[in-house]
């Protein structure tokens, strides 16, 4: 029995595969859509499903925060565009949101396959024809079209929209200041000076540098200097 051709696995640093697709805001070429922006692409198993409805409402409410950071949101669901339209009305009604970002119609799973968003083990996560639905994937993509973060959640578990925003803040702040962010970091907390920055240079850059261990050097970084400002 021939196995289905699976694309090369996507890793952090891979270029986000390009695709053309219909969305609730019209047809797009994904790389053109990215342009010079950061993008968060996230998938949902199906329209009119309870967990997805709560998620999209939460992302719609946070969209202005993403926009302030130069981030575009784009959703994906394994249904048709026509179906998405009615669902968006429900989402806005339930969440009190105003969902503006596009949602890709991926009935044929073209994008889901390219991004390996399919469930390998949950036999219940399928449509009426037995075709696997998408899992809850999140891809954070930078302006160079590079994938910087991949999250995969099962269909049963809703995501944390604040965590996706926190990841964006960590990546954007880190790129700007050559720092890394410790466990549970939120903008305004101390950051870690990236290992390649020598201590001598770090002390010039960060007058309040604290050397906890030679390999663990922290500095305050006010929220105003992070991408959350």
Number of other residues whose CB lies within 10 A of the CB of residue 176 = 12
What local confidence, expressed as pLDDT, does residue 71 receive? Answer: 97
For 22-102, where are the E strands, in sequence order?
Answer: 28-29, 38-44, 71-77
Range in 2-11, 28-37, 111-120 the model is least confident about: 2-11
71 in Cβ contact with 170 (< 8 Å): no
Instruction: For Cα atoms 175, 197, 142, give the angle at the middle one, nearest 5 degrees.
Output: 15
51 in Cβ contact with 58 (< 8 Å): no
What local confidence, expressed as pLDDT, does residue 1 receive? Answer: 43
Which one of the listed residues 52, 56, 88, 95 is annotated catalytic? 52
Residue 135 CA to residue 151 CA, distance in Å, equals 10
181 class by beta-carbon count within 10 Å (0-12 exposed, 13-18 middle, 19+ buried): buried
pLDDT in tens, 61-113: 999 999 999 999 999 887 777 766 778 888 889 888 888 999 998 877 788 88
pLDDT at 153 over 90: no
Residue 44 CA to residue 78 CA, distance in Å, equals 7
The CA radius of gyration of the chain, in Å to the nearest whole number, is: 20
What local confidence, expressed as pLDDT, does residue 132 receive? Answer: 60
The closest of 4, 8, 11 to 109, measured between CA atoms, is: 4
What local confidence, expressed as pLDDT, does residue 70 receive? Answer: 96
Q: pTM score, two decimals? A: 0.87
Range in 5-19, 120-134, 156-170 the model is least confident about: 120-134
Known catalytic residue at 193: no
* Helices and strands (H, E) in the chain, number of each type: 6, 11
Confidence of residue 2 (pLDDT cuts 50, 70, 90): very low
What local confidence, expressed as pLDDT, does residue 133 receive? Answer: 61
pLDDT at 127 over 70: no
Q: What percent of the chain has pLDDT over 70?
A: 86
The mean pLDDT of the chain is: 87
């Amino acid at each position: 029995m021939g196995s289905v051709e699976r694309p090369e696995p996507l890793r952090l640093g891979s270029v986000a595969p390009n695709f053309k697709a219909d969305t609730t805001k019209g047809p797009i070429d994904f790389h053109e859509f990215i342009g010079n922006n950061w993008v968060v692409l996230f998938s949902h198993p199906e329209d009119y499903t309870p967990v997805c409805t709560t998620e999209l409402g939460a992302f719609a409410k946070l969209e202005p925060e993403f926009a302030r950071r130069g981030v575009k949101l784009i959703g994906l669901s394994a249904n048709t565009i026509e179906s998405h339209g009615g669902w968006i009305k429900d989402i806005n009604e339930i969440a009190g949101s105003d969902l503006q970002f596009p949602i890709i119609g991926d009935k044929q799973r073209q994008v889901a396959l390219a991004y390996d968003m399919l469930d390998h083990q949950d036999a219940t996560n399928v449509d009426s024809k037995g075709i696997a639905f998408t899992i809850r994937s999140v891809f954070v993509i930078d302006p160079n079209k590079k994938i910087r973060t991949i999250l995969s959640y099962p269909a049963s578990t809703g995501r944390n929209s604040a965590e996706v925003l926190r990841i964006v803040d960590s990546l954007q702040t880190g790129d700007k200041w050559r720092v890394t962010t410790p466990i549970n970091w939120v903008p305004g907390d101390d950051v870690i000076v990236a290992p390649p920055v020598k201590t001598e240079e770090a002390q010039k850059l960060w007058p309040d540098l604290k050397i906890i261990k030679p390999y663990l050097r922290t500095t305050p970084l006010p929220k105003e200097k992070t991408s959350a400002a």
